[in-house]
Amino acid sequence: GEDVEQSLFLSVREGDSSVINCTYTDSSSTYLYWYKQEPGAGLQLLTYIFSNMDMKQDQRLTVLLNKKDKHLSLRIADTQTGDSAIYFCAESTSGTYKYIFGTGTRLKVLA
């Protein structure tokens, strides 16, 4: 079945860039998403990318997609302490609203 993998932890210093990686197996994925989850809270959509794109930039966030390798990354520029959270990548296929989530990456930003 579909599988989405992420590294579990990432620690960066305030002001540095963070890069969170994600790999997926479903070649029919149409949309790929990045969500942020703060402690005890629901999910906040950060950004998403269509599978026919290879890059999307939105303020401090840059998403890169390598469809051939089924690899997705999220770069956060000038990382702040408020960015500390768990980041999930997720994929869905056109025509369904069923999301498959990655394992989540816990980002810790050190002051």
Partner 1 sequence: GAVVSQHPSRVICKSGTSVKIECRSLDFQATTMFWYRQFPKQSLMLMATSNEGSKATYEQGVEKDKFLINHASLTLSTLTVTSAHPEDSSFYICSASRRTEAFFGQGTRLTVV
Our finding on whether 7 is near partner 1 (CB under 8 A) is no
Contact (Cβ atoms closer than 8 angstroms) between residue 75 and residue 62: yes
- In the chain, DSSP finds a helix count (H) and a strand count (E) of 0, 11
- The size of the interface with partner 1 (CB under 8 A), counted in residues, is 19
Instruction: Give the separation between CA 3 and CA 31, rounded to whole angstroms.
Output: 15
Contact (Cβ atoms closer than 8 angstroms) between residue 5 and residue 89: no
Binding region for partner 1 (CB under 8 A) out of 11-19, 40-48, 52-60, 71-79: 40-48
Query: For partner 1, which is the closer residue by CB, 1 or 82?
Result: 1
Chain residues binding partner 1 by CB under 8 A are 31, 35, 40-43, 45, 48, 88, 92, 97-104, 106
